[in-house]
Amino acid sequence: MDGRNETQDIRSAEENQTDQHENPPPPPNPIPSHPLSSPAAAAGGGGGGGSSSSASTTMARIVSRALPFASRSPQLGAALIRSAPMRCPPLPAAAPTASLLTWRGFTPSSEPSRSGPPPPPLPMPPFAGFLAGIRSFRRGRRGQSAARRAQPQDPIPSPPPAPKESEIELYARIGIDDDTPEDPEVLNIVEILKLNVPMAMKIALDGLLDSNYKTRDTSISDVGRYDKVEVSVLLCNDNFIQNLNKEWRGEDSCIEMLSMSQYIPDLDVPILMLGDIVISVETAARQAEERGHTLLDEVRILAVRGILRLLGFDHQTSDESAVEMEKEEQLILKSLRWKGKNLAKSVLDSGKRHTETSDGQVTSGLKRAGSLRFYRPKFKYIFCDMDGTLLNSKSQVTARNAEALREARSRGVNIVIATGKARPAVIDALNMVDLSGRTGIVSESSPGIFLQGLLVYGLQGREIYKRNLDQEVCREALLYSLEQKVPLVAFSQDRCFSMYDDPLVDSLHYVYHEPKAEIVSSIDQLLGTAEIQKVLFLETPEGISSALRPFWEKAIEGRARMVQAQPDMLELVPPATSKGNGVKILLDHLCISPDEVMAIGDGENDIEMLQIASLGVALANGSEKTKAVANIIGATNDEDGVAQAIYDYAF
């Protein structure tokens, strides 16, 4: 940039003059913050402009104030730094009553700074709001530099008139979208940006006076005629910026940053409204990881890029414009000693985020493992089935499903298992992916719904509901198993019983994680040993449909009901009970509204649960009756259907 070396040439002279001011004036009085509204309501687009003014000949005295974000901001402190951006002495501690961040530079002028409070700000446009200050001083320095370069034969230039001091304040506001969770790192970045954005704006605005870029819109060339300059920065997640991009530009895609100008040419007002910069911290976090630097580094880069867009740079119009914008961006980043990356390479990387599937559909891959950090949960609870849902066809929890559950938990979502399995079976299956125990999603001290809703555990794992199968139905079922040689397992809380050894009985333990069945010698011994909640027949799907179902429909006569969660299993349970009934009992116990619940299942025993929940997701491998009542039909259990449902619908 023209004139930047001249700025550096006189830096030492400025610093010597600065050292003479041992008692700088106190910060100005606090300026009240203003409400922040949605950026979608802002007017303008791209970069705006303004005309030059004789005020640009004034000397530099930079004053910037950072207003706190209206709804979410820790108390600000005060800082005193020099006008040279490359050299900043340690910042003194803030006074307890300080509410403004003051950035004050010094000039060779001996005129003291204004000590009175600043005038009240004009009414703020939608989403306008960060106050910072800047003074134009490049032209005065050009004259000094030219005098030093004069040859001996050149006439001695007449001394310039004494400069008239003026101040320009630059207002800016750093905010976070309400739908973005309060991530500690992001909140820290907000505080840092309150100082960083004015520093970047000072350099960018200062460079407008003598720049000779051919592709920049020069509508805004000199801010000397303004009393104030305004800009705003909003941090958000991908959902927010994608919706805004669709509304603002008609493009239904997620991008890392949007800049929206509020500048109105020929408007004779003392305030220059540059516009709004919206940054997706989720995309920024992903790009930071890919590029090997921190989230703060990436947000700084995007903030600088947004400022340049508002000042008339546009890398998308031509190759030359991309080169010029990249040059100015690198100059600003280098001046501030911030990490940067080639703009063209950054644009290329961002274009790779959208991929095309085999069926021609374009997917952005926004919500995936590790990407939920900046999404606010839509639900407080997810009720999830096991067999055919969380477990794949090999009765295993996949790594992607496990990571999705961890991500959801890390965002404050409670996972509740609602299954026909016994509790030990669920603990064993989830233990294989480190999701059981007190730090997991299921344990002996966590809420859960087991044995088709016949056993419900509440807070601290306390039993709040149990229903037993009629003993005569149990006796008839055990006798049928012995006479027809159809394997049967009787469930009693955390134990299983059977009348004889059989490979299918063993498969319940070795494949489905159920407690290993205890073999008893007689029906009376079994019924005298434990209370039975349900019995389960193991048979082929053909055998169940042709023999078992017709027989037991007549045999139970309202004393029990049949449940078929798996094609090769038929269960007898007490009447007027279901997994959905267990869900209702647990919701009442936990004081949870169905509006706070998302449910995922596949079998007919999940129908009532999906109907109760605010959002019911049936996996594609589920029964037709289940899919008919679901709000959403997801992927299959062998395609990580639970993970996809969480990423797509829980946030």
61 pLDDT more than 70: no
pLDDT at 343: 53
**How far is it, in rounded angstroms, from Cα 297 to Cα 332?**
13
**How far is it, in rounded angstroms, from Cα 86 to Cα 349?**
30
pLDDT at 277: 94
Mean pLDDT of 220-225: 79
pLDDT at 342: 55
Three-state DSSP class for 234? strand
Is there a contact between 407 and 372 (Cβ–Cβ < 8 Å)?
Answer: yes
pLDDT at 254: 87
471 pLDDT more than 90: yes
Instruction: Estimate the crossing angle of helix 641-649 against helix 399-410, to 10 degrees.
Output: 30
- The model's pLDDT over 477-530, given as tens digits with 9 standing for 90+, comes to 999 999 999 999 999 999 999 998 899 999 999 999 999 999 998 999 889 888
- Which of 64-78, 147-161, 267-281, 361-375 is predicted with the least confidence, judged by mean pLDDT? 64-78
**How far is it, in rounded angstroms, from Cα 222 to Cα 225?**
8
Mean pLDDT of 18-38: 36
pLDDT at 581: 94
Is there a contact between 619 and 635 (Cβ–Cβ < 8 Å)?
Answer: yes
What's 50's DSSP letter?
B
> Highest-confidence range of 3-17, 83-97, 197-211, 291-305, by mean pLDDT?
291-305
**Any residues with CB less than 8 A from the CB of 483 and at least 6 apart, and which?**
none
Look over the chain and give the mean of its residue pLDDT values, rounded to a whole number.
Answer: 74
pLDDT at 160: 52
Pick the more confident residue, 474 or 18: 474
Which candidate, 604, 587, 609, places its Cα nearest to that of 549? 604
Given pLDDT bands bounded at 50, 70 and 90, which one contains residue 341? low
644 pLDDT more than 50: yes
- Which of 99-103, 243-247, 530-534, 556-560 is predicted with the least confidence, judged by mean pLDDT? 99-103
- The model's pLDDT over 92-129, given as tens digits with 9 standing for 90+, comes to 333 332 222 222 222 223 333 333 444 444 444 333 33
In 177-239, DSSP assigns E strands to 228-236
Given pLDDT bands bounded at 50, 70 and 90, which one contains residue 369? low
pLDDT at 619: 96
**How far is it, in rounded angstroms, from Cα 603 to Cα 73?**
48
**Any residues with CB less than 8 A from the CB of 164 and at least 6 apart, and which?**
55, 57, 58
Which candidate, 205, 196, 162, places its Cα nearest to that of 66? 196
- Which of 95-99, 209-213, 453-457, 604-608 is predicted with the least confidence, judged by mean pLDDT? 95-99
pLDDT at 169: 82
- C-alpha pair distances (Å), 399 with each of 216, 391, 432, 640: 50, 11, 10, 9
pLDDT at 398: 95
**How far is it, in rounded angstroms, from Cα 306 to Cα 23?**
36
219 pLDDT more than 80: yes
Is there a contact between 604 and 623 (Cβ–Cβ < 8 Å)?
Answer: yes
Pick the more confident residue, 342 or 605: 605
**How far is it, in rounded angstroms, from Cα 586 to Cα 453?**
10
pLDDT at 33: 34
336 pLDDT more than 70: yes
What is the percent of the chain where pLDDT is above 90? 44
pLDDT at 122: 41
SS3 of 394-461: the string is CCCCCHHHHHHHHHHHHCCCEEEEECCCCHHHHHHHHHCCCCECCCCCECCCCCEEEHHHCEEECHHH
- The model's pLDDT over 149-195, given as tens digits with 9 standing for 90+, comes to 344 444 555 555 444 455 778 777 899 988 888 888 999 999 999 88
**How far is it, in rounded angstroms, from Cα 245 to Cα 256?**
10
133 pLDDT more than 50: no
pLDDT at 103: 29
Given pLDDT bands bounded at 50, 70 and 90, which one contains residue 208? confident
Given pLDDT bands bounded at 50, 70 and 90, which one contains residue 48? very low
> Beta strand 130-133 with 228-236: parallel, antiparallel or unpaired?
antiparallel
Could you give all domains of the chain from N- to C-terminal order, each with its CATH number? Answer: 169-336 (3.40.390.30), 381-466+578-650 (3.40.50.1000), 471-573 (3.30.1240.10)
Strand partners, 260: 276
Q: Which two tokens stand for residue 630?
A: 């679901």
